[in-house]
Structure 1
């Protein structure tokens, strides 16, 4: 009797643990226990111990008198019957609704394809991006299109058909995924090398990355990616992603991972570190004056480095799980989920890419729409996307001030004029007494700066303490009054971080400036035209601190220089390019004026011809 209850208790504890950790609660636990006890009483009459199925389907009885064998048989049958670990590499978890999986994969496919097309279009349209070396960036986008336009639509088709995914579909998807991964890794390495040659070597002669060399390298990259993935697909030389089986060919696996993965990734990271070190060394030389093209190239190299880090962050979980799987078993849910995280790495990049191209006056609406589509990106988008500044009025002084995340605490905003929160907040964050004095002086100084440059608008300065210095934000907003049939708004957000050196005589300044501009003209000749966009630039420098050059003067000079560069960029590139496109697409003059000009030209040509004929006679 004691042995029988010991077996029952052992089975109950183990099944309870397995039930809630693997089956997700799909099997009614109480029903299983009742049916088990009931069958045990019947089996007692036969002097045997019988395994009872957990559904109405009949399973042959298994006579045994060993409790451990009973437990093992029970758990094995449960796992086989209910597929507690049947996470699909093609259609994700079957416990999710088919509609949810269909919408998720379709959204990733659409947003990824649109983002990659935008990336390719930017390189083709922007003049300062039309360089042979930037073709590697296009190559990364083309590799990603293999994922978003082939791999993900295959999963969508399987879900729409409602069929059990065949093994061939999974292997085709794995072929394209592996091919895109290898091509992306090699392209990122080539991009880093090209950026280093462009930024850190003399540009007197011809660039090594010319059209012919770049084309050859890209063809080699695609050949290596297709051959390596094709050998795995056809000969099954390495780990099988779909069946999660390996043939144990360690030499081939180590060679492929070392040459096509670890070596390019390490070399890419090392090259970017060299770029950062050498650029800092160049900029500190007294006679170094960076050109506008050099600034653009440096910004592009920084963006490429961030993309490389994002690529590593998204694929690192799958790499860890894959490495761990060689020595231990990993659940299908964990294994395939980490792979899909890597395949969806461009989701955040595409969202930011779309926000940069949508009208600034509709940023709030577009941001809400994106968050509704992808709620998981809410925190990242809110912290990464700058929104247009709003204006409030200080009750004590009657002056206007600007609202942003930097002067917000909860639902209250601090005024730089009265240093109070509206609505009132008792424990709101405040700057130190020393920093508050500097904040008052900075607000007065930039108020004069705004009046001289913008002839109107609103400005605000907010400062806060750091461990080794302080930081602040300078906000400027100028909205058009609609006169001269022109509407628009200019928003400048300058975030500065100041680190004072131990000597107290110098400080390191890091300025990140974002400008959002939109214009709308309504004239008879050109009709209604909308133009808008945002631009972000960053600069760092060391400067001395003394009575003639305090913090406010140093920060003011950096902000003034940065705004002049941004205005020049907007005027020469964005406005100029838009003007060229507009003139090429349509004529500003009316058809009657054009006919008159054509007639006048013909009359002048005829008169000159008659005059020449008379002169010859």
Structure 2
């Protein structure tokens, strides 16, 4: 993925690429769309997780949350940095350029490794259920999440410190990228990204294939299950199907990035890099759409958020109306007569009994 948007420049010292104005406008509109929809969708997804008890009970929830946070960081931090560069004639801040690149590739690895962890989790839960609870305790799951983040960004350390490649501006296509050093013949991303991507995809594909075989066998025995057993099995199968859809969405978004980085790591065909930039950035908006369209718990969770919001607005309006009504009633009451109070006040000359 090219982690900075494209712009025109006339710097004669750089072997750069100029793009038509309409391409720049389209790119800007799409990037702003991804920022708004991605940030809003992933934020709402996080809120749904915290509000819905049924989702929090699912063993896969913490991994889905990790995937959502990775997407949220890209849409709310990385993409705005890219869009900022879109308005400038060159990278105005080399630190931000590098930060956007590292953040994107790091979170891309986090998403990919999280999908691997989810696939393995579903495999163990469905194919090897007896050992699932022992492996996926809260402590072990938290450790897995931490390791995913550490490994994802540790893979970029050689490029960050210039040991193997570097991070900076690619002058051919005028984007921030992982670059090869002058003494190197191969760009590091041409080796690292394909190995990481295809090895992870192989593990995920194998896991879901085994899950599919087990589900197919279990359907034949479904008639002998109790209703509660069938309901639990159907729920787990639905979650597995949801996770598989997320994996397919990830493939659709990032496979163009991998292929372009393999066959054109030197940036000889800038238009291909533009297309893969669009598809890879689409990943931040796809997952919330898949959650809502596929899973009933997510749909009910989103409905609950909006219904609670509308109920709060109505309740506040009703409370405000009642307050105004009470104030109007009080203001319409006649003033209090103080003569009665004067009658009961201290009389310095009280009447004597003989006066009566």
Query: Does the TM-score normalized on the shorter chain lie above 0.5?
Result: yes
Q: Is the 8 A contact 1:113 1:149 kept in 2?
A: yes
Task: Indicate conservation of the 8 Å contact 2:249/2:283, yes or no.
Answer: yes
- Whether 1:264 and 2:178 are equivalent positions in the alignment is no
**Partner in structure 1 of residue 90 of structure 2:** 164
Change (3 A) 1:176 1:103: same
Q: CA deviation at 1:129?
A: 1.6
CA deviation after TM superposition for structure 1 residue 159, in Å: 4.2
CA deviation profile, 1:438-480 (whole Å, cap 9, x unmatched): xxxxxxxxxxxxxxxxxxxxxxxxxxxxxxxxxxxxxxxxxxx
In structure 2, the residue matched to 1:314 is 253
Distance in 1 (alpha carbons) for counterparts of 2:72 and 2:132 = 35
Q: Name the counterpart of 1:339.
A: 277
Of Structure 1 and Structure 2, which has the larger fraction of its residues in helix? 2
Alignment of 1:445-484 (within 5 A): none
Q: Is the 8 A contact 2:242 2:290 kept in 1?
A: no
Partner of 1:143, secondary structure, is helix
Q: Indicate the RMSD between aligned Cα atoms, in angstroms.
A: 4.0
Alignment correspondent of 1:183 = 110
Equivalent-residue separation in structure 2 for 1:321 and 1:205 (angstroms): 39
Within 5 Å, which residues of 2 pair with 1:165-564?
Answer: 165-166=91-92, 167-203=94-130, 206-235=133-162, 237-238=164-165, 242-243=169-170, 245-247=179-181, 248=184, 256-257=192-193, 260-285=196-221, 286-289=223-226, 290-325=229-264, 330-350=268-288, 356=292, 535=296
| Contact 1:315/1:342, CA 8 A, preserved across alignment | yes
Higher relative strand content: 1
TM-score scaled by length of structure 2 = 0.67
Pairwise CA distance, 1:121: 2.4
Is the contact between residue 102 and residue 159 of structure 1 (CA under 8 Å) also seen in structure 2?
Answer: yes
Matched residues in 1 for 2:168 and 2:274: separation? 9
Query: Does structure 2 retain, via aligned residues, the 8 Å contact 1:113–1:145?
Result: yes
Query: 2: distance between equivalents of 1:256 and 1:352?
Result: 29
TM-score between both structures, scaled by the size of structure 1: 0.41
C-alpha distance in 2 between matches for 1:298 and 1:127? 19
In structure 2, C-alpha distance between the alignment counterparts of 1:323 and 1:352, rounded to whole Å? 29
Deviation (angstroms), 1:208: 1.8
Q: Is the 8 A contact 2:158 2:164 kept in 1?
A: yes
Contact 1:139 1:187 in 2 (8 A): yes
Give CA deviations for 1:410-440 in whole Å, capped at 9, x if unaligned.
xxxxxxxxxxxxxxxxxxxxxxxxxxxxxxx
CA shift in 2, pair 1:240/1:332, >3 Å: farther
Query: Hey, what does 1:152 align to over in structure 2?
Result: 79
* 1:104 matched residue in structure 2: 30
Deviation of 1:97 (Å): 7.2
Structure 2: tracts of 5 or more residues without a match: 1-9, 171-176, 323-356
Q: What is the Cα deviation at residue 132 of structure 1?
A: 4.0
CA distance change for structure 1 residues 206 and 99 in 2, over 3 Å: closer, same or farther?
A: closer
Query: Where does 1:16-27 land on structure 2 (aligned, <5 Å)?
Result: none
Moved more, 168-177 or 99-108: 99-108
SS of residue matched to 2:22: coil
Call closer, same or farther: CA 1:272–1:252 in 2, change over 3 Å: same
Change (3 A) 1:164 1:206: closer
Q: Considering only CA atoms, is the larger Rg found in Structure 1 or Structure 2?
A: 1
Measure how far apart 1:204 and its partner are.
8.5
CA distance in structure 1 between the partners assigned to 2:27 and 2:132 by the alignment: 54
Cα distance in 1 for residues equivalent to 2:163 and 2:73: 21
Question: Paired residue for 1:556?
Answer: none
Aligned partner of residue 206 in structure 1, secondary structure: helix
Which 5+ residue runs of structure 1 have no aligned equivalent? 1-78, 88-92, 357-384, 386-513, 515-533, 537-568, 592-617
Matched-pair contact (CA < 8 Å) for 1:282–1:288: no
Contact 1:238–1:249 (CA under 8 A) maintained in structure 2: no
Q: How far does residue 239 in structure 1 lie from its aligned partner after superposition?
A: 6.8
* SS of match in other structure, 1:242: strand
Q: What whole-Å deviation, never above 9, does each CA across 1:517-570 have from its counterpart, x for those lacking one?
A: xxxxxxxxxxxxxxxxx959xxxxxxxxxxxxxxxxxxxxxxxxxxxxxxxx98
Residues 100 and 319 of structure 1: is their aligned pair in 2 closer, same or farther, counting only changes over 3 Å? closer
- CA separation in 1, counterparts of 2:41 and 2:132? 35
- State the partner residue of 2:17: 86
Task: Work out the number of aligned pairs and report it.
Answer: 287
3-state secondary structure, aligned to 1:96: helix
* Higher RCO structure (Cα 8 Å, ≥6 apart): 2
What secondary structure is seen at the aligned counterpart in 1 of 2:133?
A: coil
